[in-house]
Amino acid sequence: MTAMIFLDYVGVILFAATGALVASRKQLDIIGFIFLATVTGTGGGTLRDLVLGVPVFWVAEPRYLLACAATALAAFFTAHLLESRYRWVLWLDAVAISAYGVFGAYKGLAETGSAVIAVLMGMTTAAVGGVIRDVLADEPSVLLRKEIYMVAAMGGAVVFVAADAAGLRLPLAAGAGFATAFGLRSGALARGWTLPAYRSRPGRDPEDSLRGDDPDTDG
């Protein structure tokens, strides 16, 4: 259990840190830091708990909120020391989706017993915080970046569920899932790993697309 609680806090706090760094990029004030850090840190887990029909984790244990606020405060006073805040956002986000993807799969599995739901819970938990952060701050969504992202969260969740089903002890299964997810995502960040795309022509502008006057493009 301790390993899982550790993963949970790692996910919440690092997501909160990415929210605070984005708040810094947007020159928000201290309360804006705390708000964006808190919704980024708790967003994924909140949706996970609502969907699973269990009490929302930070309502049951407000210490998570204090952890987010403390992270935001720390970032408020140190963000300027970082050479590239956006690069830090990407790397902290990489650790956070790895930790939170595994923890989401663990909680989904514990509540429903379904491996399919566990994997989707891992992916959703990992993705939602970043999506909320990017939408609120009007940043380009990390989901739409070319290098792999959801693949990493999915890989971590799948490896964790498989290792758990194979009878591995919980900390080992969680470690294997985390390593898989972080390995995939850090490869993506450091070396630009992508999945082979079957076909890759971007969509046209919606209005041009409706005019449909150019048979050579596929809209």
| Gap between the Cα atoms of 132 and 145, Å rounded | 16
- Note whether 7 and 103 are within 8 A (CB): yes
Q: What value, to the nearest 5°, has the Cα angle with vertex 190 and ends 93 and 188?
A: 65
Q: Which stretch binds its own copies (CB under 8 A): 2-10, 12-20, 163-171, 200-208?
A: 200-208
Residue 171 CB, nearest approach to its own copies (Å): 27
Of 140, 146, 35, residue with least CA distance to 89: 140
The pattern of x and - marking residues 91 through 130 that bind its own copies according to CB under 8 A reads ---------------------x-x-xx--x--xx--x---
- The residue (of 146 and 169) whose beta carbon lies closer to its own copies is 146
- The residue (of 56 and 168) whose beta carbon lies closer to its own copies is 56
Residue 11 CB, nearest approach to its own copies (Å): 18
Residue 3 CB, nearest approach to its own copies (Å): 25
| Gap between the Cα atoms of 171 and 7, Å rounded | 10
Instruction: Select the residue interacting with its own copies from 16, 20, 45, 85 (CB under 8 A).
Output: 85
Instruction: Select the residue interacting with its own copies from 1, 166, 167, 200 (CB under 8 A).
Output: 200
| Gap between the Cα atoms of 100 and 36, Å rounded | 18
- The residue (of 172 and 212) whose beta carbon lies closer to its own copies is 212
Q: 17-49: buried (b, 16+ CB within 10 Å) or exposed (e) per residue?
A: bbbbbbbbeeebeeebbbbbbbbbbbbbbbbbb
Tokens of 179: 């390593």
Under the binding rule (CB under 8 A), the answer on residue 195 touching its own copies is yes
Instruction: Select the residue interacting with its own copies from 4, 70, 74, 151 (CB under 8 A).
Output: 151
Enumerate residues 21-60 that contact its own copies by CB under 8 A: 22, 24-32, 35, 38-39, 46, 50-53, 55-56, 58-59
- The residue (of 5 and 86) whose beta carbon lies closer to its own copies is 86
Size of interface with its own copies, in residues (CB under 8 A) = 78
Tokens of 98: 């790895």
- Note whether 67 and 28 are within 8 A (CB): no
Under the binding rule (CB under 8 A), the answer on residue 137 touching its own copies is yes
Under the binding rule (CB under 8 A), the answer on residue 194 touching its own copies is yes
| Gap between the Cα atoms of 75 and 55, Å rounded | 29
